[in-house]
Structure formats: C-alpha cells, structure tokens
Amino acid sequence: MRAALIKDVQQVDVVTVDDPAPGPRDVVVQVAACGICGTDLHILDGEFAPALPIVPGHEFAGVVVAAGPAVSELAPGQRVAVDPSLYCHECHYCRLGHGNLCERWNAIGVSVPGGAAEFAVAPAANCIPLPGHVRLEDAALIEPLSCAIRGYDVLNRQPLGAHVLIYGSGTMGLMMLQLAKRTGAASVDVVDLNPQRLATAVTLGCSATATSADELDRPRGWELVVDATGAGPAIADGLGRVAPGGTFLQFGVASYDTRVAIEPYRIYNKEITITGSMAVLHSFERAAELFAGGLLDPDIFISDRLPLEDYAGALDRFKRGQGRKIQVLP
C-alpha cells in the first residue's frame, strides 16, 4: 500500500510499504480521509513521537476491510471513526482511569503506523461505528473534537455564563469556540494573528475577534482563557487575562523549550487555576455522538482535501496557516 512516512526530522515522503495485517482483536481500516494537525508538525520537528520513522495520521475514518479472528462486533463494510489512543490498561495511571497519562502511552499515527495511508490497523475497541448520514471523510474531525471535549472535561467548573477568551482560530480554537457556546458561555472572544482564520471564527458566531487581546474591552478579564496556539507569546499574554477566580486552559502543544513567566502572587491572590488537557480520555464516544448530531459544520472546518501523494504539500500548507483543517485522501 501507499503510505506517508516521516523518515527522520524534517524528512517526509510517500512510499510503498507492506499491507498491514490485523492482530486477533484488530481490524484493518481502509482510510477515507486523514486530517493533519499541529501534532504532525511536532513529529516532523522530532518532538512528541517517541521514535522515527513513523507513518503519521491520528485523525481518520474509513471502512473496515478485514477483521482479526477474535473480532465479532465489526464486519467488513462497517464505517468507523478511529480513536488513536492506545493505553496499556495496566500501569498506575491506567488503573486510576487516567489512560491518557499512561506510563506506556502509545497512539496510532504517533508511535504505531497511522492513517496517512491506504490502510491502517486499529483495535476493534477503538473503532466507533458511524451512522449512515455522516459523510465518511468528515468523520475524521471526530478525533480533534474528542480532544476539545477532554479540554472541557478538565475544567473544574463549566463556563456557564462565563466570558471566554480563546487564543488561536485554527481547527482546535474553533472547536473550543463551538463547545464554549454549547456549554453556555456568555461571550466567546477569539484572538489570532491571522485575519483569515479570524474570519471563520466570526462565521461560527464568536462575540468578537482581535489580533491582540488589547483591542478587546473586558477590564475584569475572562473567566476562562484557552490557549489553542501552543505559542509562548500567546500563552504569556493569556495568563495575564484570566479574571479573578478564573481558569487558564493550556490546550495548545508548545515546543519542549517554551517557557513563560507566571505571577504567583496574582495566582494566589485571585485564586486562578492553571490547567492542561492532553489528547483523548473517555471523550471519543461523546465526540462521535455530538458530531453526528451536527455540532460542527464540516464544510466550514475542512478547507482542503489533497491526495495522499501530496502529503508533504499538505503539511506545508498547514504549516503556512493556509486554510483550516487539511485532509489527505488515500
């Protein structure tokens, strides 16, 4: 089969590799579409993935074409979205129900071959059947949505009636916007350096947009500030915008060496919470249901569909901030 391969740092190609074979409780999924996200760029930079080479792609959906001998619940022809999380189910954190912090954490497309390929292997337990009205290619959005839902899960208090400020108007910032509206935010403001990205936030009904939060009029700050950029300057700025009693959510993935200053006095004196959320935890099923229910308009979220053979071009396009969610179609 054809598959994208990140061979080494900054080296990506599309190559021919052996067709995958399922283990006893695995299925083989013929990939319909695979989304590209910041994590793929981190892997290309030599961060996040434990080892290279790797076939990337952790956001995908497709059709089951083969099943291992111990799989009875999924048959060839079944349309599925795939949760890429591979927890060991045995370590300290898994036993605590915190599989996304697994000591032997693995994920499809990060540490085992992923969905930027014609076929991918996934445990049957990770495959969520899709209802007939969901377009298969669109269902590749369920994985990023399940991360955004995990982001809301970690908040101690739901932002009911809260004023929310989101840094980053890429796919993840826009999903956080949709969920903030859905969970009863009083207002949702979005900051991004890229005006084209902000235009989409307006289309999706945010309250205000700006290229700097200085332009936004909220002297008391925001009860919930979300970083969906991973960029040090945005994080540093956002930390100072949290209202007394409010929460800062570190959702964006910063590079390993990013450092920002915090103000311990203000964190103490204004009871500010700083928290993070990592990938998917018990949130894929809910993401699939919300997605099928129309939470997101895929035609707004997905801007580009490129052939798998142009995987490098798709990564490059994403890196330059062009479009929104970019997919490759094997």
Ligand X SMILES: NC(=O)c1ccc[n+]([C@@H]2O[C@H](COP(=O)([O-])OP(=O)(O)OC[C@H]3O[C@@H](n4cnc5c(N)ncnc54)[C@H](O)[C@@H]3O)[C@@H](O)[C@H]2O)c1
Report 174-203 residues binding ligand X (CB under 6 A): 191-194, 197
Report 34-73 residues binding ligand X (CB under 6 A): 37-39
Count of residues binding Zn ion (CB under 5 A)?
A: 6
Spatial CA neighbour of 41 closest among 303, 330, 276, 311: 311
Q: Which residues contact 56 (CB under 8 A, 6 or more apart)?
A: 4, 6, 40, 43, 109, 110, 114, 116
Question: How far is C-alpha 169 from the chain's CA centre?
Answer: 13
User: What is the token pair recorded at 224?
Assistant: 């919930």
Query: Which helix (DSSP H) or strand (DSSP E) does residue 28 occupy?
Result: strand 26-36
From the list ligand X, Zn ion, none, partner contacted by residue 91 (C-beta under 5 to 8 A by kind):
Zn ion
Q: Is 43 in the site for Zn ion (CB under 5 A)?
A: no
Which of residues 84, 113, 115, 173 is near ligand X by CB under 6 A? 173
Q: Is 20 in the site for ligand X (CB under 6 A)?
A: no
**At 147, is the secondary structure helix, strand, or coil?**
helix
Q: Is 229 in the site for Zn ion (CB under 5 A)?
A: no
User: What is the token pair recorded at 202?
Assistant: 């307006």
User: What is the token pair recorded at 75?
Assistant: 């048959």
Q: Is 91 in the site for Zn ion (CB under 5 A)?
A: yes
64 vs 142 by CB, closer to Zn ion: 142
- Tally Cβ neighbours within 10 Å of residue 174: 28
Q: Is 115 in the site for ligand X (CB under 6 A)?
A: no
Taking residues 119 to 158 in sequence order and writing x for each that binds ligand X by CB under 6 A, - otherwise, the string is -------------------------x--x-----------
Q: Which residues contact 273 (CB under 8 A, 6 or more apart)?
A: 156, 246, 247, 248
Report 308-327 residues binding ligand X (CB under 6 A): 321
Q: Is 88 in the site for Zn ion (CB under 5 A)?
A: yes
CB 101 within 8 A of CB 44: no
Question: How far is C-alpha 264 from the chain's CA centre?
Answer: 30
Taking residues 268 to 287 in sequence order and writing x for each that binds ligand X by CB under 6 A, - otherwise, the string is ---------xxx--------
CB 112 within 8 A of CB 72: no
Q: Is 111 in the site for Zn ion (CB under 5 A)?
A: no
**Interatomic CA distance for residues 291 and 14, integer angstroms:** 31
127 vs 280 by CB, closer to Zn ion: 280
116 vs 279 by CB, closer to ligand X: 279
Spatial CA neighbour of 137 closest among 309, 314, 301, 312: 301
Helix 171-182 to helix 195-203 angle, to the nearest 10 degrees? 30
78 vs 277 by CB, closer to ligand X: 277
20 vs 56 by CB, closer to Zn ion: 56
In the complex, residue closest to ligand X by CB: 170
User: What is the token pair recorded at 65?
Assistant: 């074409």
From the list ligand X, Zn ion, none, partner contacted by residue 94 (C-beta under 5 to 8 A by kind):
Zn ion
User: What is the token pair recorded at 104?
Assistant: 């032997």
**Shortest Å, Cβ 195 to ligand X:** 10
Q: Is 102 in the site for Zn ion (CB under 5 A)?
A: yes
Report 208-237 residues binding ligand X (CB under 6 A): 228-231, 233-234
**At 137, is the secondary structure helix, strand, or coil?**
coil
Using CB under 6 A, list all residues that contact ligand X: 37-39, 144, 147, 167-173, 191-194, 197, 228-231, 233-234, 251-253, 277-279, 321
Query: Which positions touch Zn ion (CB under 5 A)?
Result: 37, 39, 88, 91, 94, 102
